[in-house]
Copies of this chain bind each other. A is one copy, B any other.
Amino acid sequence: MSRIDSKKFFGWSGPAAGAAIFRIIKNIGPLSRTDIVKKTGLSKSTVSVHTKKLLEMGLIKEAEAENKSVGSVGRNRQLLKFAKNNGVIVAIDLGATSLNVGLCNLDAEIIDMKSKKTLVNNGPKIIMEEIDIFIEKLLESNEIADKKIFGIGMGVPGPVEFSKGTPVSPPIMPGWHLFPLKKVLQQKYSCPAFIDNDVNVMAVGEKHAGLAQNISNFIFIKIGTGIGAGIICEDELYRGSKGCAGDIGHIAVEGEQEFCPCGNRGCLEVVAAGPAIAKKAKIAAQNKESEILLSFLNIKGELTAEDVGEAVKRNDKASIDIIKNSGQKIGQVVSRLVNFYNPSLIIIGGGVANLGNYLISSIKEEVLRHSTSLAVQDLEIELSQKNEEVAVIGAAAMAVNEIYSHDNVTEMVYLDSGSD
């Protein structure tokens, strides 16, 4: 290719080698120095110098020998591993109606988490206070000093300009347009902060610790109040040219005419997401097509997608049809994306994904029917197994990936060396 990223060539000398050694230990460690020489092609002396430096910097640590007699293990056989407990990441998952704040180690494993119902449209002032209270409590109860926060990752339910870390015209986040989330968090906690939209964060979470750990090309689809997708391309999150890749909620569904607030008609999220399911359920109840839904409606005055899920569990035919219908519409759109993108995995998550297997089987049916045979040959379509916490894991993993990027570690090693 004719373009070049000059940063790729920064420091092939000492510091870059140190960063490469760190990355290989972090990703596939524990490893001995001899393993590292074999896997990197670096000389023994280079590996020796840099592992010493990485140990001093606290980026890696010696793994305890399994027989506990460390003394008997030769220095070159001593295993080295990522010092994942050397600091913490704060991971924030802000939803339309909920807030989860996790305290994670540097491998994005959740140490502790606090959750509450709240409303994102309460605006930044109230929500930021709630976040601060949660962080304070988490640090206190886990006896962690402020300065141990290495970074903050956060997912929000709307479009984000990633480099600036601000929501941009988010439809369901009134009061948040251009709010400087990244800046506010960085100043308050004196550490780097990274903000992205919730589906991107969830896709990163599935890649880091979910169903997609060994998958290079996949799509994560969140079905809740809206519908959106996070795209992983060759192991990296793909954001598109304006950062809005994966915005599949406004793809038109064949034969649908319903108006969408975006100005178009028949958009996928208007005809298939949570509110559409609730609306169809209300009509079914009023038309006396479902006794269960009617009884729910009489008791509560309104119906939600969760009520439909409850009725499905009781084998209510009208509710099953409603869920299948949503699955078909989603499957229709997904089948087109499968032809275009040829992923090897599609993960379905979000609130509506909890509504049972009828949804996913309808999606699968449509994809098998409409995608080309080569594109579906090894395609898996799965429900997220970590639906409740994948956004927190993903927010932490996003922060860790950024903080320990190759360029950043190269610079850390370089600065630690004085000069090189």
Question: Are A341 and B42 in touch, CB under 8 angstroms?
Answer: no
Known A-B contacts A3-B216, A235-B1, A342-B240; A20 and B12 likewise in contact (beta carbons under 8 Å): yes
Give which listed residue, B3, B217, B240, contacts A235 with CB less than 8 A. B3
List residues of A (5-55) whose CB comes within 8 Å of B's CBs.
6, 8-13, 16-17, 20, 23-24, 27-28, 39-43, 46
Residues on the B chain within 8 Å of A169, using CB: 374
List residues of A (245-266) whose CB comes within 8 Å of B's CBs.
245-248, 250-252, 254-255, 262, 264
**Bound-complex Cα distance A378 to B242 (A):** 8
**Bound-complex Cα distance A379 to B214 (A):** 33
Question: Are B248 and A339 in touch, CB under 8 angstroms?
Answer: yes
**Bound-complex Cα distance A231 to B8 (A):** 23
A227 to chain B, nearest CB (A): 11
User: Is A375 located at the chain interface by the 8 A CB criterion?
Assistant: yes
A15 to chain B, nearest CB (A): 9
User: Is A333 located at the chain interface by the 8 A CB criterion?
Assistant: yes
Question: Are B344 and A241 in touch, CB under 8 angstroms?
Answer: yes
Copies of this chain per assembly: 2
A98 to chain B, nearest CB (A): 26
User: Is A222 located at the chain interface by the 8 A CB criterion?
Assistant: no
Question: Are A242 and B2 in touch, CB under 8 angstroms?
Answer: no
User: Is A370 located at the chain interface by the 8 A CB criterion?
Assistant: yes
A343 to chain B, nearest CB (A): 6
Residues on the B chain within 8 Å of A341, using CB: 231, 240, 245, 340-341
**Bound-complex Cα distance A216 to B5 (A):** 11
Question: For residue A238, which residue of chain B has the nearest CB?
Answer: B233
**Bound-complex Cα distance A335 to B250 (A):** 10
Question: Are B241 and A343 in touch, CB under 8 angstroms?
Answer: yes
Question: Are B375 and A242 in touch, CB under 8 angstroms?
Answer: yes
Residues on the B chain within 8 Å of A238, using CB: 233-234
